[in-house]
Structure 1
Amino acid sequence: MEFRQLITFQKVASLMSFTRAAEELSYAQSSVTSQIRALETSLDVELFDRLGGRIRLTEAGERLLEYAEQILALADEARSDVAGRDGPAGTLVIGTMESITSYRMPPLLELFHHRYPRLQLSLRPSLCAETCHALRQGTFDVGFLMEEETDRPGLETMMLAEEPLVLVAAPDHPMTAMRELTLDDLRGASVVATEAGCAYRDLFEEELKGAEMASFLEFGTIEAIKRGVMAGLGVSLLPKITVAAELARGEMTVLPWQPPFKVFTQLAWRRGKRLSREMKLFIDQTARLMKEEPSATAC
């Protein structure tokens, strides 16, 4: 079992493609295939099931992947220390979403930019389900989730903060005159929302299921949603932190409806993955800064 074979194996396992692994490693595809076969021969096991044009890890392959990631992470750490590099370095690939990137992460990004300039944070926009899949496959190092408190198979999660949700509308929206809103009231409204797959949108939609379904207008970004709400296109359920400025300026109004569910900003990584010093640093600093942030409920 050779070190380069483990590198190739880990790349194929994360991408589930010999072709893409060859491209990223700058190898000929035949070289990738021969390295995997040599590794299988040395271990006397099959690491991948070949199903036509697709592959998947065997049980032995899944076990080896955990060891390979630990070995490669330890090698990177040893290389860094022996080379005498000053402080954390390299790249962390982070799955995140617009609401967290724009409204939660700026202090964290500023900290790492100034204090740890050798460590690059590569942010990958992704919905929660996509982030979880990428973490299990090893294409993301860590990922932010905003959803209910959930035990995700194969992942370790850290609760960072509850994210209060508010139902907002333009100040002249007819519903602002109502003292209380019911689900039936909301089913008759136009809802400006994120795309399906966003946890709080999906939870809201589930609440509104009934004889008459609310009309959902999907917008690609939170900024576009806010503009749509202020233009009177409908109401929207959003994390309070994302609309705090508009509420303070009187450009939006909170409607009298409290969602019966809660979502939390969470940090996740693959269960069993050996954490490099860079990952430990990111997790620790993220937890510290989140705890120091003022609560969105105070807005």
Structure 2
Amino acid sequence: MELRLLVTFEKVATVLSFTQAAAELRYAQSSVTGQVRALESSLGVELFDRLGSRIRLTDAGERLLPYARQILELTEEARSAVAGSGEPSGVLTVGTMESLTNHRLPPLLEYFHHRYPKVRLSLRTTIGDETRQALRQGTYDLGFLMERETEHPGLETAVLAVEPLALVAAPGHPLAGRPVGLGDLAAQPLLATEPGCAYRDLFERELTSVAPVSFMEFGTIEATKRAAAAGLGVSLLPAITVAAELAEGVLVRLDWEPPFTLRTQLAWRSGKRLPAHARLFLEQARRLAAEQDRPSSRG
């Protein structure tokens, strides 16, 4: 099997489109089609079912795909080891989210920038399903998840930390300073980021068990915090994102604990052999998360 044919097959299998694969590989579509047919001919099997304008992997294609990815990953690792000085290098595409990028990742990004200058980090802001899908398709090398579940089909994960949540409002809010129930919250104006965010979706599920609710959506955590501080309503957010506002008295924490626990995780595609710079990133993420989780670091 020629390496270039495996590269083309893996790309088509990932995006399930000859047209998109051709664009990303910068080939003519006829070249992509020809290379896939050449690989099929050499193996004596069909790798894709052609369903009009759509395609899908055959059983043989499904069996070949993990081997193709392992071969390509090993090839890239060998090329880097032979061509380089042994210093980690390359592009590392990481899916992340606003709360982690702004509040947990700066020490990790600073460490990598100074310690491994030949590693170029590319951060992509997505959440939930988008991040998981990008990891399965190979668009991202690693992805941060903040989820209740720690097992995800097609992915391997490393749990970095439990992520505490805080229900916050403006000082002087009617619910401040007393125990709060779901009925109290369902009657309040509710502020949130976009749907698809795990803690927002779980919070909404809890509230709708009591009464139908709706949220004012602000898109970002920063905008949601400002709206809460202005007295527009209450919001459930990662505690790390509101620590400064709580310390300054701009927001107050309401007496309600969510009945669910979220964990910050770093995920990658199952069966993927992580290159050296990705393994280093994972190791440092674990180390820094452990340091941040110590009581002294939370202050």
TM-score range, shorter chain: over 0.9
Give the whole-Å Cα distance in 1 for the aligned partners of 2:149 and 2:49: 34
Cα deviation code 1:143-191 (max 9, x no counterpart): 10001133111111111000000100010222114x1111111110111
Give the whole-Å Cα distance in 2 for the aligned partners of 1:210 and 1:294: 33
Task: Say yes or no: does 1:67 pair with 2:95.
Answer: no
TM-score for both structures, normalised by structure 2? 0.96
Give the whole-Å Cα distance in 1 for the aligned partners of 2:59 and 2:125: 31
Residues 191, 271 of structure 1: alpha-carbon distance in 2 compared, 3 angstrom cutoff? same
Query: Percent of aligned positions with the same letter in both sequences?
Result: 63
Give the whole-Å Cα distance in 1 for the aligned partners of 2:187 and 2:33: 58
Cα deviation code 1:28-69 (max 9, x no counterpart): 010001001111111112212222222222222222111111
Partner of 1:229: 228
Q: CA deviation at 1:136?
A: 1.1
Partner of 1:93: 93
Cα contact 2:98–2:221 (8 A) shared by 1: yes
Trace 1:9-158 onto structure 2 (pairs within 5 A): 9-158=9-158
Partner of 1:203: 202
Letter in 1 for 2:175: M
Cα contact 1:48–1:55 (8 A) shared by 2: yes
Cα contact 1:188–1:213 (8 A) shared by 2: no
TM-score for both structures, normalised by structure 1? 0.96
Residues 199, 211 of structure 1: alpha-carbon distance in 2 compared, 3 angstrom cutoff? closer
Partner of 1:186: 185
Give the whole-Å Cα distance in 1 for the aligned partners of 2:261 and 2:152: 17
For structure 2, the residue ranges without an aligned partner over 5 or more in a row are none
Letter in 2 for 1:214: V
Q: CA deviation at 1:214?
A: 2.6
Q: CA deviation at 1:243?
A: 0.3
Cα contact 1:163–1:263 (8 A) shared by 2: yes
Cα contact 1:186–1:214 (8 A) shared by 2: no
Q: CA deviation at 1:294?
A: 4.2
Q: CA deviation at 1:213?
A: 2.0
Give the whole-Å Cα distance in 1 for the aligned partners of 2:60 and 2:156: 22
Give the whole-Å Cα distance in 2 for the aligned partners of 1:183 and 1:278: 46
SS at structure 1 position matched to 2:179: coil
Cα contact 1:89–1:278 (8 A) shared by 2: yes
SS at structure 2 position matched to 1:261: coil
